[in-house]
């Protein structure tokens, strides 16, 4: 079985076949950086990171583009509110976004273009649309895409033009549903938020940015276009229309991730329900816990956030982490080798990245590995440990990856290891002198501290529950 993905455009799960064998071009709509990111934003980054890792594991050479929208009305508003340059707002939040991605072990894209660095390409594309009769400039200096000129408008979101609400953009456009390609500079706006164009000073509209940047780095046609379901319309619909109207093949597959909700409501800045990696860290949740939580839901499914659910994810991650560390400590280098992926894991990942099923396979393998360790079956334990690591690595969650190592945690772990070793030695000595009551007291004290001791043919082993 090969990879199959749900394509929004056809509303079906399709076999993934890249345009060019062995090479895949992926474009993900990044964030508009008017504010700091929350884990709802980061869900998209984690979901597509899993996709990119799986494509590469499958033998494809991937060119992955994730843009940054660093010029937008919202950014200008935020700058005015804070009495700061708009570009300072954008850059500060871009750095916070990068830190959030890095904390969750999201690999950097091949290129991460900023909108402000690609104004000439946007002007060129707008000019092509005007020349083809799909866009028009107004005396005010705005340029609009003519929705009526493109009969296939609505094909991605499966909406009828006659049922659509008009665009909120102001201006003397011919049809209320036309959308902006170029926004004329307005009185009171910062002078450095305008660029020279054939239609006068101004800045690009949001939709034209992604079409131009995708074309610049992936060519006129590429394989996968990604983003959240919240921007399927109008953003992706408008991207598709203007790109196709300009004669571009554009995206072959459209992949959309579900939203992260809080109490059934989409997380957003305006609702004030922002949860950052830092804020969750103050509540005792590690970045690995957050990544595990975001990964174990199928990417297309809405995900309702709660601290209880995140706590359950933390416990599940700890079980996997404890097994891999236990195996590494008992088996040494044998447990550090990457093993083959389980067939059920591969089948789950190829089935539209069914990560819940894939993670279930990981837990089953870890349980088998723990049982093998208890029984002293080093060969079976080593196979299980290597397989668990290999599968978790595909999800960006290998516990032995140095990314997840914390010097403070490592120091504390060393202290705990030493104290438990002392207690177990005392228990062994008590049993040798047949003082079983003392041995049982030591075992019970360790249990009350959360340390479970099991006697095996190799000797006592312990885990933290």
Please indicate, yes or no, whether residues 72 and 45 belong to a single structural domain of this protein: yes
Instruction: Say whether both 78 and 102 belong to one domain.
Output: yes
| pTM reported for the whole predicted model | 0.85
- Tokens at residue 211, please? 């079409």
pLDDT value of residue 170: 54
Same domain, 79 and 223: yes
Q: What is the DSSP letter of 108?
A: P
Residue 242 belongs to a domain with what CATH number? 3.40.50.620
Residues of the domain holding 74: 4-257
φ and ψ at residue 250, rounded to 5 degrees: 60, -140
CA distance 226 to 228: 7
Residues 87, 190, single domain; the answer is yes
For residues 278 and 285, give the distance between their C-alpha atoms in angstroms, rounded to a whole number.
Answer: 9
Any domain includes 263: no
Statement to judge: residues 86 and 102 lie in one domain = yes
Q: Is residue 267 part of a domain?
A: no
Pairing of strands 250-257, 61-66: unpaired
Is 268 domain-assigned? no
* 262 part of a folded domain: no
Domain end: 213, 228, 257, which one?
257
Q: Are residues 99 and 201 in the same domain?
A: yes
In this structure, is residue 307 part of a structural domain? yes
Cα(131)–Cα(147) distance, rounded to whole angstroms? 15
Supply the angle between the helices 378-394 and 343-350 in degrees, to the nearest 10: 10
Q: For residues 113 and 127, state if they share a domain.
A: yes
Could you give the CA distance from residue 51 to residue 41 in angstroms, rounded to a whole number?
Answer: 16
> Is the residue at 272 inside a domain?
no
Q: Do 223 and 314 share a domain, yes or no?
A: no
Cα 388 to Cα 335: distance, rounded to the nearest angstrom = 10
Domain assignment present for residue 270? The answer is no
Residue where a domain stops, chosen among 257, 289, 315? 257
159 phi and psi angles, rounded to 5 deg: -115, 150
| Tokens of residue 178, six digits | 């036309």
What pLDDT score was predicted for residue 458? 56
Which of the residues in the chain have pLDDT under 50?
271-273, 407-408, 410-414
User: Are 106 and 220 members of one domain?
Assistant: yes
- 271 within domain boundaries: no
Which residues lie closer than 8 Å to 68 by C-beta, 6 or more apart?
30, 31, 33, 94, 97, 112, 113, 114, 115
- Both 186 and 159 in one domain: the answer is yes
pLDDT value at position 113? 98
Do 412 and 393 fall within a single domain?
no
Write down the pLDDT at residue 172.
83
**Total domains present in the chain:** 3
- In our burial notation (b when 16+ CB lie closer than 10 A, e otherwise), range 410-427 reads eeeeeeeeeebeebbeeb
Claim to verify: residue 428 and residue 390 sit in the same structural domain: no
Point out the domain boundary residue: 358, 379, 404.
Answer: 404
């Amino acid at each position: 079985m090969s990879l199959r993905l749900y394509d929004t455009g056809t509303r079906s799960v399709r076999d993934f076949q890249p345009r060019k064998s062995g090479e895949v071009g992926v474009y993900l709509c990044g964030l508009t950086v008017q504010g700091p990111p929350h884990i709802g934003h980061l869900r998209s980054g984690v979901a597509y990171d899993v996709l990119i890792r799986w494509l590469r594991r499958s033998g494809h050479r991937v060119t992955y583009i994730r843009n940054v929208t660093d010029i937008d009305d919202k950014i200008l508003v935020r700058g005015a509110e804070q009495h700061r340059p708009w570009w300072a707002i954008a850059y500060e939040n871009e750095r916070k976004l990068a830190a959030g991605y890095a904390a969750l072990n999201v690999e950097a894209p091949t290129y991460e273009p900023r909108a402000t660095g690609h104004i000439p390409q946007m002007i060129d594309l707008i000019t092509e649309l005007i020349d083809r009769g799909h866009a028009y400039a107004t005396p005010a200096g705005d340029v609009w895409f003519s929705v009526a000129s493109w009969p296939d408008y609505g094909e991605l979101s499966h909406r009828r033009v006659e049922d659509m609400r008009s665009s909120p953009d102001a201006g003397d456009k011919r049809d209320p549903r036309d959308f902006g390609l170029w926004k004329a500079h307005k009185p009171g706006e910062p002078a450095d938020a305008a660029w020279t164009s054939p239609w006068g000073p101004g800045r690009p509209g949001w939709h034209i940015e992604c079409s131009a940047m995708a074309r610049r780095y992936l060519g006129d046609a590429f394989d996968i276009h990604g983003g959240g379901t919240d921007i399927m319309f109008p953003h992706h619909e408008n991207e598709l229309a203007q790109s196709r109207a300009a004669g571009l093949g554009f995206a072959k597959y459209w992949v959309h991730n579900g939203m992260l909700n809080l109490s059934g409501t989409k997380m957003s800045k305006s609702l004030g329900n922002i949860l950052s990696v830092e804020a969750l860290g103050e509540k005792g949740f590690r970045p690995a816990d957050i990544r595990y939580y975001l990964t174990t839901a199928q990417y297309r499914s809405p995900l309702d956030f709660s601290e209880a659910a995140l706590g359950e994810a933390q416990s599940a991650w700890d079980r996997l982490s404890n097994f891999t560390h236990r195996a590494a400590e008992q088996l040494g280098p044998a447990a550090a080798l990457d093993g083959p992926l389980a067939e059920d894991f591969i089948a789950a990942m190829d089935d539209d990245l069914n990560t819940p099923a894939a993670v279930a396979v990981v837990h089953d393998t870890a349980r088998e590995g723990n049982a093998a360790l208890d029984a002293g079956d080093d060969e079976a334990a080593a196979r299980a440990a290597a397989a668990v690591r290999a599968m978790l690595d595909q999800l960006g969650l290998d516990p032995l990856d140095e990314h997840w190592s914390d010097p403070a945690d490592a120091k504390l772990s060393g202290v705990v290891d030493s104290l438990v070793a002392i207690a177990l030695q005392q228990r062994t000595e008590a049993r040798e002198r047949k003082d079983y009551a003392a041995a049982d007291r030591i075992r019970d004290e360790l249990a009350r501290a959360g340390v479970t001791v099991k006697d095996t043919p190799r000797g006592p082993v312990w885990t933290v529950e």
